[in-house]
């Protein structure tokens, strides 16, 4: 079972692309919210830039007013 699980993980990871980010780099975050009384087509899809605080598969971004948010690297 363990060998089959490892093979499955390797097979899945073969075609994945992990974006490479560095600590201190500024990135844009995709805004998935649609504000009240606004059109989806006319609203801006990106917000930011935000500074990367911790780099991993789950990235922690530093927001204004000393808040942080945990976001997956694909987002």
> Sign of the CA dihedral 52, 66, 50, 73?
positive
3-state helix, strand, coil in the chain (%, to 5): 20, 35, 45
Q: Work out how many domains the chain is built from and give that number.
A: 1
Range of the domain at 50: 19-72
In a domain, 37, yes or no: yes
- Element containing residue 60 per DSSP (H, E): strand 58-63
Q: What is the pLDDT of residue 3?
A: 92
In a domain, 3, yes or no: no
Query: Which percentage of the chain shows pLDDT scores above 90?
Result: 7
Is this prediction's pTM over 0.85?
Answer: no
Cβ proximity of 52 and 21 under 8 Å = yes
In a domain, 1, yes or no: no
């Amino acid at each position: 079972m363990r060998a089959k699980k490892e093979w499955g993980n390797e097979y899945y990871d073969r075609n994945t692309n992990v974006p490479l980010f560095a600590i201190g780099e500024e990135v844009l975050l995709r805004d998935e919210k649609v504000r009240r009384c606004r059109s989806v087509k006319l609203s801006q899809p990106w917000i930011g830039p935000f500074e990367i605080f911790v780099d991993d598969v789950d990235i922690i971004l530093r927001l204004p007013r000393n808040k942080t948010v945990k976001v997956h690297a694909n987002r």
